[in-house]
Amino acid sequence: MEFYHPNYRSLKSLITSLQSLKHWHALRTHALEQLGWMDSRRARKSLDQNGALPWLPYSCTQFLDQTVSVRSRILEIGGGSSTVWWLSRGNSVTTIETELGWASEIERQCKELSLDSDVRVVDDRSISMKVVGLDAEFDVIVNDGYGDRTTVVEALLERLSPTGIIVWDNSDRAGVSDSLQDLEKNGFRVLNFFGIGPINAYCSQTSILTRKSIEIEGREIEFKIIEY
């Protein structure tokens, strides 16, 4: 699937939009409101009514929230609202970020919420070396860094646990499909999530890759017993 580029200058597109206002109103006041998309669009931040969200298709975030244990160790290449979200679930998170200013903002947000973050700032050229140099295996690795996300894959595989998953954001962009096909040839299975996410008014794709069939372990919430 190719990355979508809308034609904003098309007269036909404008007329179609005007004719569809009643449908847009229904979508905005129901489905988009339920997702918290309007709030994220206004604030230009990845969030919903409950707080920070990963900047992924909503369907992918919901899948991860239901299937990834709160005990899983997370490695992010590129952080942000997702860092806060993972930490808020109770996960251990290590984030490798290339932008000093953005890394400071992530740390500030985590500090405000009393979340213990591990954000490491590196030069673009040394990301692979930093990943290989980590002394742990990770259950979830999020490939969402700025720039080329294909060159770091080999290093990510060295830090992925045998039952771990890779979350590859924006996998519908040009140049990514070849890397995904190479991983499939080497035993990985690819599960694609395509749809709308926070902020953006268009759909995008995030892929989840695993060496084995995904086991639905669950986040292991401790349910409270209510006496009536």
Domains, in order of start, for the chain: 46-210 (3.40.50.150)
Pairing of strands 203-210, 92-97: unpaired
35 pLDDT more than 70: yes
pLDDT at 4 over 80: no
Average pLDDT for 210-216: 75
Task: Note the helical H segments in the chain.
Answer: 11-19, 21-29, 31-35, 37-43, 58-67, 81-89, 100-112, 127-132, 153-159, 177-185
The pLDDT of residue 224 is: 46
When pLDDT is averaged across residues 24-48 and rounded to a whole number, the result is 87
Around Cβ 208, how many Cβ atoms within 10 Å? 21
Pair of tokens at residue 56: 């992924």
pLDDT band at 29 (very low <50, low <70, confident <90, very high): confident
| pLDDT band at residue 26 using 50, 70 and 90 as cut-offs | confident
Query: Is residue 223 over pLDDT 50?
Result: no
Q: Looking at residue 81, what is its pLDDT?
A: 96
pLDDT at 180 over 60: yes
Q: How far apart are CA 43 and CA 215, in angstroms?
A: 36
Count how many residues are written for the chain. 228
How does pLDDT run across 125-149, given as a tens digit for each residue?
A: 899 999 999 999 999 999 999 888 9
Beta bridge partners of 111: none
Rg (CA), the chain: 19
Residue 217 vs residue 94, higher pLDDT:
94
Instruction: Report pLDDT for 185.
Output: 92
> pLDDT tens digits, residue range 79-131?
999 999 999 999 999 999 999 999 999 999 999 999 998 999 998 889 999 99
